Chain A
Amino acid sequence: MRHPWLRFALRRAAGFAVSLAVLVTVTFLITQLVPGDPVRASLGPTAPASLVQERRAALHLDEPVPRQFLYYVEGLLSGDFGRSFTSGRPVAEVIADRFPMTLRLALAAFVLTLLVAVPLGTAIAVLTRGGRRPGAEKSFSLATGFVLSVPEYLMATALVALFAVTLDWLPITGSSGWTAYVLPLAAVSAAPIAVLARITRVETLKVLDQEYMRVARGKRLPRRLLYVRHALPNTLTATLTVGGMLLAGLVAGTVIVENVFSWPGLGTAIVEAIPQKNYPLVQAIALLLGTIVLLVNFVVDMLLARLDPRSLIGES
């Protein structure tokens, strides 16, 4: 084919579609795999039989499984995710309420991670190259190593204990202005920053040792051009691959951290919904979060292909 990029894009799009289909099937299977009657399980043994029957009918649970699946997919396509078992509100409404909060936190964390980790890793690589400033290198690897062994929820708790309880500088809960973002953001992005900075450092060191960097230095380009035009795109390929995985990881991180800060997002919603056996809500949120992750992976693949034309070769 004349357009290797197009072919690559189509192939990846097909992969994305298959993954999505699997995700839909898996979330559908939840209500099928729950032992016993999911409606009875969620309403409890004391609920009147009539209510159970009504709910079962609404979920089409009495029909054959393939038809149930059809109803499920039909619902998804028309934006109908069913009604919350607990509140009776349409799930789509609950998600419309909650999703922006999670998206804001995750995106802010991702941007923060990129803005901090890439320059940090690059700077450490440039500054400590050739065995200079061994102190800086050692403190960097110690600090990132420590941050990496502390899970998000602990990081969050520790931040709360320090900045909200002991120092009383920042609020713990609620979304009152920008200060409410500081601690959750720090908790969500600390580990990704450490990972990405480490990888950026290693990749930058690799790139700086390349002959083409010496050639670029030989052109006496200003440092800015040297690092931004010649080094950065080459480090970015690896950085972006990891960045995509990190963004996917941020989704998980957000789910956890939201619960520490009572952040009214999808994370708190799903964690509430699971013990309540509020299956429609769990299904919808899982589907949404999973789709986001798959979408991110897809976009990252596309970006990589644009950034490094060599990555297309292996495909065709």
Chain B
Amino acid sequence: MGRKRLSPARVAMLAVFGVLLALALVGPMLWGDRAAAVDLERLGEGASWAHPFGTDDLGRDMLARVLVATRLSLVLALLTAGLGCGLGLLLGLLPTVLGPRLGKLAGSAIGLLLALPGLLLALLVATITGVGATGAVVGLAVAIAPAFARLTQTLAAQVAGSEYVAAARMTGISLPRLMLRHVLPNIAPALVLQVAMAIGGALLALSALSFLGLGVQEPQYDWGALLNAGLDRIYVTPAAALGPGIAIIVAGVAFNVTGDALAGALAGETIRPARRSGRGRSRSAAASSAVPASGPSAAGSDAVLQVDGLSVTFEGEGGTLTPVRDVSFSVAAGERVGIVGESGSGKSLTALAIADLIEPPGTVQAERLALHGRDPRELPERERRRLLVTSLAMVFQDPLSSLNPVLRIERQVGEAAQAHLGATRGQARVRAVEQLRELRIPGAARRMRQHPHELSGGMRQRVTIAMGLTTRPSLIVADEPTTALDVTVQRQVLRVLRRVNAEHGTAVVLISHDISVISAFCERVLVMYAGRVVEELAADRMRVDAAHPYTRALLAATPTLDADLDRPLATIPGRQPALDAVPGGCAFAPRCAHASDRCRERLPLLETLGEGRRVACWHPQGAALPVREQEMKR
């Protein structure tokens, strides 16, 4: 890990921090006399050249007083934080030291103290000790301690549960030594950070108490006391409040930023989780986009879905990524179409693009994207929603995360009908129960009142399917609907989809990485690789017809019932190219045994081989390939 680079703002803040320390060291020596010099001719003056922040009610220079007060303000803050953190540390180690039963009691005590506001604790202690700097320091230390104790407790519990502490215990080492040698060093970095933050907090809190007149008393003064004096005269000389105010803000910000910097240094660079779009950075991603492929295979007026030249792009800081490129296909009414491919092949994004669910920074481009012959993108908002909701339902991979944890099932299943079909809440409820019954969800009426976490995995997935079906869509797009479920439940869910397909003529687009699931369920299969459709063929003739080397490799990697169990399963060497490094020619070429120079240089387009058969390959394979067409391709 490299050294964390400091931003200019952070460097500036560290410099301020240094200046504060320097002021605390030398301030009273340099300006002490000036700050104490009473000038009866200049009582309570405003800002002037001689006194930039004016003078106080004894004619003393406010600037000098602010500078001198740095030392007391910082020293008191350090004392408070040190005392508070020390107390907290002792208190926080108690639960670990005392053992389970007494420890639990100590833990509850910490929780109890935490529940009370710190200021209240500080005020109570100050009441007991009497008003003054000591009372303020002790009071605030008591106020700081509970939070610090809780942190120590949590950290110590983690360390104490670890194996090396258990191992150390076995050697019969004494408890204090165990703490000093094994526990404390391991939790020290996090605690140090907290101490740094506590100093900043203490500085502000002490100023607050002094400001209230409950902290530092005359003749001593810190910034809070100066601010208090300034506030009394704010109508006459606003500058008097300005000086100490600035000092407090600057010091507060400096401590905050220094704490942040420390935290950053301790945590190291935090890597932002890669979003869907951020899998890589592209320099020339769009450079290879070629002429659009030939038209979709099953075009016609009865097409539920027609997609032509669909691309999805993500604009990122590093350039444009195009995870879906020039995809064309169509789905007829009642048809079951599968899309198969490895993760990252663009199949899920294709589904989201069809459903108009791509979100910024992603964008969708398509020459044609029509549901029942109408392009939702061209419709006004209301009609667009209606068209989408009545023609298409999405089912996602993880049923638990697809359901809103805080809403009852009846709400989630019924609301689409309510929003779009003009159903009342009661009608929507009835519709929802019907739908659940239709999908043979046991105890449908009872399920309606439940929350998602009360259902089993397979039940949840059936609920999500029911959710999409209440508006009677003509197409279900199911994106890996069974991947998160175990095998028997997988079968149930597929059976539900199959029944909906058979009984209502609802078309299904099933997306999966599992070619055996796809070939068992679907009539027609699209194979995607690196964002493109590379082959389209009938599901029942896959093993015979497959012409693309990638499709053939996928099939070879899938065991069949009559496979020779002694032979190892074939695997596909290499991996799919990264999004920002898709080669200009055929994306599969680097992994393909049949690749030639042409493959590496020119992009093969999707060519029709026969009824419902298309392939994008310069060297299509297989005996079943009509010789004529093979020649044509060469």
A residues near B, CB below 8 A?
Answer: 18-19, 22-23, 26-27, 30, 33-34, 41, 129-132, 148-154, 157-158, 160-161, 165-166, 210-212, 214-222, 225, 229-230, 233-234, 237, 248-249, 251-252, 255-256, 259-260, 270-271, 274-275, 277, 279, 282, 286, 289-290, 293-294, 297, 307-310, 313
Contacts and interface: CB of A to CB of B under 8 A. Distances in A.
Given A151-B252, A154-B248, 20 more contacts: A22-B112, A129-B360, A148-B256, A153-B207, A161-B234, A210-B401, A214-B396, A215-B396, A216-B404, A221-B416, A229-B407, A234-B405, A252-B118, A252-B120, A271-B212, A274-B123, A275-B213, A286-B123, A290-B120, A309-B406
A6 to B, nearest CB: 17
Contact of B117 (A34, A154, A248, A271): A248
Interface stretch (B68-76, B235-243, B283-291, B300-308): B235-243
A256 B213 CA distance: 11
Given A151-B248, A154-B249, A271 B416 contact: no
Interface SS of chain A: helix, strand, loop or mixed? Answer: helix
Contacts of A157: 227, 230-231, 234, 241, 245
Contacts of A148: 256
Contact of A153 (B130, B208, B253): B208
Contacts of A210: 401
B357 A23 contact: no
Nearest to A248: B117
Interface string B396-437: 101001111111000100011001100000000000000000
B406 A234 contact: yes
Given A161-B242, A215-B394, A256-B212, A153 B227 contact: yes
Given A33-B128, A131-B361, A218-B357, A149 B252 contact: yes
B407 A233 contact: yes
Contact of A211 (B213, B359, B389, B401): B401
A293 B116 CA distance: 7
A36 B396 CA distance: 73
B324 interface: no
Contact of A30 (B117, B127, B227, B316): B127
B127 to A, nearest CB: 5
Contacts of B407: 229-230, 233
A308 to B, nearest CB: 6
B473 to A, nearest CB: 10
Contacts, number: 184
Interface centre among B124, B234, B420 (most CB of A within 10 A): B124
B256 A275 contact: no
A19 B406 contact: no
A177 to B, nearest CB: 20
Q: Categorize the interface residue count of chain B.
A: 35 or more
Nearest to A29: B128
Contacts of A23: 116
Contacts of A310: 405, 451, 453
Interface string B331-371: 00000000000000000000010010101111000000000
A34 B131 CA distance: 12
Nearest to A233: B406
A252 B360 CA distance: 42
A289 B416 CA distance: 47
B405 A132 contact: no
B586 interface: no
B235 A165 contact: yes
Given A132-B360, A157-B241, A271-B214, A282 B127 contact: yes
Interface in B454-497: 464, 467-468
B145 interface: no
22 contacts: A130-B275, A130-B361, A151-B207, A157-B227, A157-B230, A157-B234, A161-B234, A161-B241, A165-B235, A218-B393, A219-B415, A219-B419, A220-B419, A225-B419, A229-B411, A233-B407, A270-B123, A274-B214, A279-B127, A307-B406, A310-B405, A313-B453
B261 interface: no
A132 B193 CA distance: 33
Interface centre among B123, B249, B420 (most CB of A within 10 A): B123
Nearest to B397: A211
A138 to B, nearest CB: 12
A251 B123 contact: no
A70 to B, nearest CB: 21
Contact of B402 (A18, A26, A215, A252): A215
